[in-house]
Structure 1
Amino acid sequence: MMEGMDETDTRQAIKDTALELLVRHGYRGTSFGDISAALGTTRANIHYHFGNKQTLVDEVLGDYMQETLSGLRAVWSAQGSSFSDQVEAMIAYSRARFSHFNPTGTEGRGWSLISRLRQDADLLGDRGRQMLGHFGVELSALFAEALSAADRRGELAPNVVPADAALLFAVIADNAAPITLAEGGFERLERTYRSLRQMIENRP
């Protein structure tokens, strides 16, 4: 354990640091040595708590996916929120995550663990690859429900098929980090969400 921390806090500190490094450097570019150096502890301490790198990465990825899906469900199921409000909340949620790794907005860094680990999927174990695949399924289900609810509220244009609109939103959300790495940065993602909203919402 690290000084002043119990076992639970130590494990969480290791996972928090691993998350930061994995997003920045990927699976290939992150070692127990990197994590221990960032924490000021020993590699043996990290081995004691997680055994091996794959176990640590699987746990970090599982926590990250759960937190992400919980955050998105809160955005898209908020009581009293209109479809337009939800799109703006989605942009704000994504911007907060983007800004954590890109404080000035011009660094051009990746900011999603899921997107980053997909680049290293060949190095992940079965559990890690299954989790990455499951994320897309969960995302599709989330948007299917959100767009169906918007349709029931009369917020989608009459010619819009909710399932088709949900698919488009899921694709954007699943590729949000790569979109911001293209020319235009976060504003490109922002415009993409708002353009889709304008195309499908029912406007008087």
Structure 2
Amino acid sequence: MHTPNASSTEHTDTATRILDAAQDLVQQCGYNAVSYGDLADVLGLTTAAIHYHFSTKADLGQALVARYRKRNAAARSTIWAEEDGARGRLVQYVNGYVGILEHGGLCLCGVLAADDETLPEPVRREVRHFFAEQEDWLTTVIAEAHAEGAGLAGYDSPREVAELLLATIEGAMLTTRDRGPDAYRARLHRLIDTIVS
């Protein structure tokens, strides 16, 4: 078995610290407002050290969203395994977004989507993959409930309901942020109750 040497472990740790700091800053300020200088100040590194790990901001952004997608996929897998029904799965899914608000941020990909036209293409592509994955997963969850008669008035397919739910999850993060996580949670739980009552 290969044992990583101290230098490769240090490299990974520094890259992780950079990604963690970048995610915090982007979730609070937006992609275009964050510079390598900001990251250097937060981390106590030089900008050259950040460039060593992520040559360009596009490289950093792409790595950031790829990691976010991977973590989100793992969270969805856990929800699927631990919850039996559509309502429980949707509630747990929403609670993940509530947790983001509780920590003072917004969904990373929601923030990035607001900057879509100015994002580098690799970052834009990762963000669009994220939303496609969310819609696919929500469609699968809602389709199971839909087969049992659940749905939403005026929406004919689980895909349409999934698209509406995801748009509401992302949009409500912005419109209820000043009211706090509890108001956000309450609004989304009411929508879930309507979908799978």
For the aligned pair, the TM-score class normalised by the smaller chain equals: 0.7 to 0.9
RMSD of aligned alpha carbons: 2.6
Deviates more, 1:122-131 or 1:161-170: 161-170
Which of the residues 109, 120, 123 maps onto 1:114?
109
Query: Residues of 1 paired with 2:61 and 2:89: CA distance?
Result: 31
Identity, % of aligned pairs? 23
Query: Residues of 1 paired with 2:128 and 2:117: CA distance?
Result: 13
Name 1:156's counterpart in structure 2: 150
1:170 aligns with 2:166: yes
- Give the superposition deviation at 1:200: 3.0
Unpaired segments ≥5 residues, structure 1: 102-109
> Cα distance 1:22–1:201, how it changes in 2: closer, same or farther (>3 A)?
closer
CA contact 2:31–2:112 (8 Å) conserved in 1: yes
Deviates more, 1:166-175 or 1:24-33: 166-175
Structure 1 or 2: more helix by fraction: 2
Query: Residues of 1 paired with 2:86 and 2:169: CA distance?
Result: 16
What letter is aligned with 1:187? D
CA contact 2:107–2:170 (8 Å) conserved in 1: no
1:193 aligns with 2:197: no
Name 2:47's counterpart in structure 1: 43
> Cα distance 1:30–1:200, how it changes in 2: closer, same or farther (>3 A)?
closer
- Give the superposition deviation at 1:143: 0.9
> Cα distance 1:162–1:193, how it changes in 2: closer, same or farther (>3 A)?
farther
What letter is aligned with 1:52? T
Query: Residues of 2 paired with 1:176 and 1:11: CA distance?
Result: 32
SS in 1 for 2:176: helix
Query: Residues of 2 paired with 1:91 and 1:138: CA distance?
Result: 15
Name 1:106's counterpart in structure 2: none
> Cα distance 1:14–1:61, how it changes in 2: closer, same or farther (>3 A)?
same
1:63 aligns with 2:67: yes
Count of paired positions: 188
Query: Residues of 2 paired with 1:119 and 1:85: CA distance?
Result: 30
> Cα distance 1:53–1:157, how it changes in 2: closer, same or farther (>3 A)?
closer
TM-score, with structure 1 as normaliser:
0.78
Query: Residues of 2 paired with 1:188 and 1:113: CA distance?
Result: 20
CA contact 1:179–1:188 (8 Å) conserved in 2: no
1:180 aligns with 2:184: no
What letter is aligned with 2:194? M
Query: Residues of 1 paired with 2:176 and 2:91: CA distance?
Result: 17
- Give the superposition deviation at 1:114: 1.1
Unpaired segments ≥5 residues, structure 2: 1-6
Which of the residues 16, 19, 26 maps onto 1:22?
26
What letter is aligned with 1:100? H
